[in-house]
Amino acid sequence: MRLGELIPAPYRLLAMGVLLAIVAGGSAALAWQVQGWRYGERLAEQARLHSKVLNQLTLAAAGAQQAEQDKRLALEQRLSASEQTHYKELSDAQKDQARLRDRLATADLRLSVILDAGSAGARDVPKAAGASGVVHAGVRAELDPAFAQQIVAITDAGDRGLIALKACQGYIHALEQGSNAPPAGQK
């Protein structure tokens, strides 16, 4: 006896429809599940690739940031060395000016100017014994020590200005070299 004969005749058609619906629904559910697995694998692969790309971008950004920090540190070191050099030059110039002022104050050194030979009231300034330097021939007049001090102060201010200008130019030059320098690892 067959299974279909056990079902009463009026319900056989209904049973066949239910059986067909179960088979169709089961196959659809199975296909749905398989597609879900495939889609899940694709999503996992995309997530892995996305993660890999993000890691590469992070490493590139970190490398660029490190290169910029290295350039900044090198620039700071160059500027520091330049600042020390210019400070030493300024300090040396100030010491030289102070020595010159002291020598003028003690009359160890006299400042004089060359006068026109026809000037009235001009007197010859004798050459100091053992003095080193260039002595120009002609009539010379000794400057008042107060004026000599003022001249030294003016030249001192000029020297400081020139040293400060040189320091500023060095700073700008260092900044230009830092901004035009090739990235680390490239030449």
- Tens-place pLDDT, residues 101-159: 787 777 777 777 777 766 555 455 555 544 455 555 567 777 777 887 888 888 888 88
Each domain of the chain, given as residue ranges in start order, spans: 71-111+143-187
Burial of 45 (0-12, 13-18, 19+ CB in 10 A): exposed
Distances (CA, A) of 47 to 30, 37, 53, 119: 26, 15, 10, 98
Task: Say what the pTM is.
Answer: 0.48
- Tens-place pLDDT, residues 31-80: 999 999 999 999 999 999 999 999 999 999 999 999 999 999 988 898 89
